[in-house]
Structure 1
Amino acid sequence: MKKLISYKLVMIYLLAIFIGVMVGYLINVKDREQQKTEKNITYEQKITSQQEALAKKLISQSKLIFETKYLENGEIVREVQNLTPSLYGKSKEEIAKIYSSWKVKSFDEEEIVLYREKEGLPADYYIISSINGYVVLLKSDGNGNKEIVEKTDIPLDSLTPFDRERVMENIITKDKDEAYQILANLSS
């Protein structure tokens, strides 16, 4: 009987030691996680309302300019936007990563100019060309594609050699009225 009691006591002691070790281990793991979290915390400097107002003023005055050079006619189209708060404070390299299909042409506090070259013509340009031996009027969509606006009944063979050459090389105009005036002159 004495052996049974001592056996039970040994088991209780071992169980108590096991529980103590596990509790100590869990407390240690929790402390390590808390220390890691404290190391990863970054302390931010408080921004005064005057600094915030100045930053907003700079953002509203700064410009983001997109320049696209269309290779078919060499025209450069500029699109100007206000600099968004998400871009303020970014470095030239960070801007280049964000707009990876553009080249950073210039970079300063007042404006960021991004540049690219693109095939085709700017949007809403009119092209007088020929399809299947007839003069047609096309319109550019700005992405290198052209849609047919009007198929004329003017045969290419009926044009003077000079006009035929111009149509074969494409007559490009920004204005729809000017394009129709050219078509009227070609038909006479």
Structure 2
Amino acid sequence: MFEKKEPFQWKIPILILTGILVLTGGIYIGIKTRKVEEKPAFNNETINKENEKTKDAFGLSESCEIWMYKRSEEGSLIDSEPSMIGIVPKELLDKTKEEIRAYLSEQYPDKEIDSITQHEIVLSEKETLNDTSKSNKYSLEVENGFIGLYKYNANGNRELIENTEIKLDSLPQSVQEEVQKGVLVDTQDDAYSKLESFGS
């Protein structure tokens, strides 16, 4: 006559209550942290401008070195050791690449900026080519990315004989380095045979 009642299942209501508590706790914490973030420390505009500067900064290393190479008038490297001018000033550490270029152009107006990396800045200085040690010789040098044939007269003054159509970039790396240093030969025939060996 009497039916046996099953005991009440408490698992489902407990899970629902736990879920509601976690959800409201998360919303409460989110609102509190948002209010803290909205309070300005000093001046929101100043902080935003500083953040923009640091985002755009190139990121020079504090030990970034400035090196200077000597180049001939047409752009090939001269056989001299590069010299270290110094280390970048601290004021350049948070500057953009364009601001760094402007600063270097201002500080070293007679030098060209070859490359800027985070650890090294390379400048070059053009040097006139009156080299009496090269008098009455022929030279293969780079001009505007192409190899040129030059003759040095008795006074060491350089004269262009021929602009070739051989691009420096099309040559193997070892040949590029050799040509950038400048190839010096005794006769015009030797120069042309060197050019042929580069072309093949």
Q: What is the TM-score normalised by the length of structure 1? A: 0.36
Q: Which has the higher contact order (CA 8 A, sep 6+)?
A: 2
Q: What is the TM-score normalised by the length of structure 2? A: 0.34
